[in-house]
Amino acid sequence: MTCLEMYPANFVMLGKESVGKTSLVERYVHHRFLVGPYQNTIGAAFVAKPIQVGDKVVTLGIWDTAGSERYEAMSRIYYRGARAAIVCYDLTDTSSFQRARFWVKELQNCDKHCKIYLCGTKIDLTESDRGLRQVDYHDVQDFADEIGAKHFETSSKTGNNVEETGIDLDQKKDSYFSSCCHS
């Protein structure tokens, strides 16, 4: 029996509205950045991506939750049982990092085994104008160390750090997905 049949691995996107969760999913799954007016997610959206882990195929299910606080209760439905959570914050918005801390606390209260990734978004903006940065890299790294999370800064617009590093959960050597297949 394949890993696909036995171990569907879900992960969830969490974070304040407009931090760029949907854009990250678009970049990761479809390798594109959608331009045009911002459309907020309503409730949550589900996207599936088959990935190869060793000689197995895992269907990675991604729950892209709505960041608006009015959907907060609904978001809880999606992170319960999630194998991993990508908690996003916008590098140009301090309050989005406060919101990220909130989601980390929620995840820790709900499931200690959920693997947490902290993802700073829109690094293209801070690279083109350093003055736009409101969230310090080292502050987040300290927090990541404290909670045992991986930490990345990405741009869905340019693709920077999305494919190459942690958000690309497609890493074949990733022990997390290997354990999904072999546990």
Ligand X SMILES: Nc1nc2c(ncn2[C@@H]2O[C@H](COP(=O)(O)OP(=O)(O)OP(=O)(O)O)[C@@H](O)[C@H]2O)c(=O)[nH]1
Name the residues that contact ligand X, by CB under 6 A.
15, 17-23, 38, 40-41, 66-68, 121-122, 124-125, 155-157
DSSP-assigned states of every residue in 60-107: EEEEEE--SGGGHHHHHHHHTT-SEEEEEEETT-HHHHHHHHHHHHHH
Nearer to ligand X, 58 or 169 (CB): 169
Name residues whose C-beta falls within 8 Å of residue 175's C-beta, 6 or more positions apart in sequence: none
Closest separation between CB of residue 99 and ligand X, Å? 11
Strand partners, 150: 117
CB nearer to ligand X: give 58 or 162.
162
Residue whose CB is less far from ligand X, 17 or 168: 17
Which CB atom, from 106 or from 124, has the smaller least distance to ligand X?
124
Helix (H) or strand (E) holding 56: strand 56-65
CA distances from 161 to 32, 39, 44, 104, 168 (A): 14, 24, 24, 22, 8
**Which string of b and e fits 126-138 if b means at least 16 CB within 10 Å?**
beeeeeebebeee
Nearer to ligand X, 10 or 154 (CB): 154
